[in-house]
Structures are given as structure tokens and as C-alpha cells.
Amino acid sequence: MTSRMRPAEAHPYLRASTAGVRHHTRALTRPALTASTAVDRVHLDVLHAHLTALHQLLDQLAESTRPPHPAAGRHLATAQTRLWQATAEVHSAFHVLPAASAEATECAPEQLPEGPPVLTICQRHLAAGHIVRRKTTPTDLNRPHTTACAR
């Protein structure tokens, strides 16, 4: 016998993540926050990590939804493609922003178990790109936004 959870109790970690994003968005809209402190490479790196995690989640949801509900699976796959486009733009923005200081651009990878800080976002992006290349064509990535049913 399975019991249904109320929406307020379902998926607590996902709900906490959403609450965290909302809180961060409200914090950025404070009048005291200036444009010079709003976005930096660290900020975009953390946002990129969040987007790639969402991308993986959508991939798993689309795969499990597609067999019993093909139309819903196509919508989720389309959402995954659009999210990848957003992730790629955040990755590009990261590389356009200047480093905070000369020390930040100097790297001592032997001191960091995960490697140079600038390369961690690239490694994450390449890993997520494997999913994209496996399931998406270049035409799909360049197609303007349409619903999955229009295909």
C-alpha cells in the first residue's frame, strides 16, 4: 500500500534548493547591492553547478517519463535542451568576466584536489556536454523554442 505525499512534503531537497534560489534572488535585488558586486566568476561558477545539476535531473525525469507518457517525456526533453542552452551561456559569461585579481589567475593545481579553479567549471561543462551530445542533435540545439508537440 503506497500513500500519497502532500505537495508540501514531497521532494524536500528540491524544494529547499528552490527556496535557496528564491532567497538569493531577493538578496540580489536589495538597493544596497551595486552592479559591481552583483556578478563575479564565483557567482557564475555556483550558478553553472546548479544548472548542470538541474540538467541531469531533467535527463533522468525525461528518461523515466518517456515510456509511460511519451508526450510528457518529449516536453521534459525539450526543457532539458533549453536548459543546456542556458548553461552554455552561463559558461561563456564566466569566461568573459575578468578574474578578481592577478592571484586568482595564478594557479597552483598541486594544492587543489579538484584542479585549477578556472578549469573546474570547464570540466563540469564538458561532463554535462556528454549527455547533450548523446541525446541531442546540433539542429535541436539551434532550433527556436517550440513545444515538443510541434515536432
Per-residue pLDDT tens over the stretch 65-116: 999 999 999 999 989 999 999 999 999 999 898 876 545 444 454 554 555 5
Q: Which CB contacts under 8 angstroms, 24+ apart, belong to 125-132?
A: 125/48, 125/52, 125/87, 125/88, 125/91, 127/52, 128/52, 128/55, 128/56, 128/84, 128/87, 131/55, 131/56, 131/59, 132/81, 132/84
* pLDDT tens digits for range 25-59: 888 877 765 555 568 888 899 999 999 999 999 99
pLDDT per residue over 126-139, tens digit each? Answer: 999 988 888 888 88
